[in-house]
Copies of this chain bind each other. A is one copy, B any other.
Amino acid sequence: MIAAVELPAAAAVTVRDARPDDRAAISEILLTSGIFGQTDADCVDEMFCEAPRADGYHWLAAEAATGAGKGGVAGFACYGREWGTHGTWDLFWICVRPGARGSGTGRALIDTVIDRVRAEGGRMVVIYTSSTEPYAAARRLYKAAGCTPAATIPDYYADGDSLLIFTRALRAET
């Protein structure tokens, strides 16, 4: 089910596998996001530098296909299998450059993640996120991409900052 959220068409965005030379852009996108900080960027960088493995982290980069940002990395996503599950995958990270927000970049990334997971035979995508205001746009994006808030752990991240777990079941659609 797609929620009734108006989003621009994503035709001007291309999503591809990330390459080693995207490393600096990914860190910069996080550090200029206004949401994530150095600790997050360090964690993502460590994950990015892990050797590729089938059961490891998968990385996507989005590029603006036209306009001023053409050819630059406008956003990225990192996803992978959830250890110990049969067919559950996790969208670990997704972030879009502030200047590229509202351009359909986040939606193009999440749609590509869902397509890739489905192609791998995945049953479910889970997303762990925060209940706080800076994550409101992310929560709208997850809902627009057909993900449903399935569970809440109050005060998980900090007092007043709860964990929301979004899920999207895939197998029933195939």
Q: Which A residues are closer than 8 A to B by beta carbons?
A: 39-40, 43, 82-88, 123-124, 126, 150-159, 161, 165, 167, 169
Contacts and interface: CB of A to CB of B under 8 A. Distances in A.
A56 to B, nearest CB: 14
A123 to B, nearest CB: 7
Given A43-B83, A83-B43, A153 B151 contact: yes
Given A43-B83, A83-B43, A154 B150 contact: yes
Give the number of times this chain occurs in the complex, counting copies: 2
Contacts of A124: 155-156
Nearest to A159: B123
A170 B165 CA distance: 22
B87 A158 contact: yes
Contacts of A167: 153, 156
Nearest to A88: B156
A129 to B, nearest CB: 11
A89 to B, nearest CB: 11
A126 B87 CA distance: 23
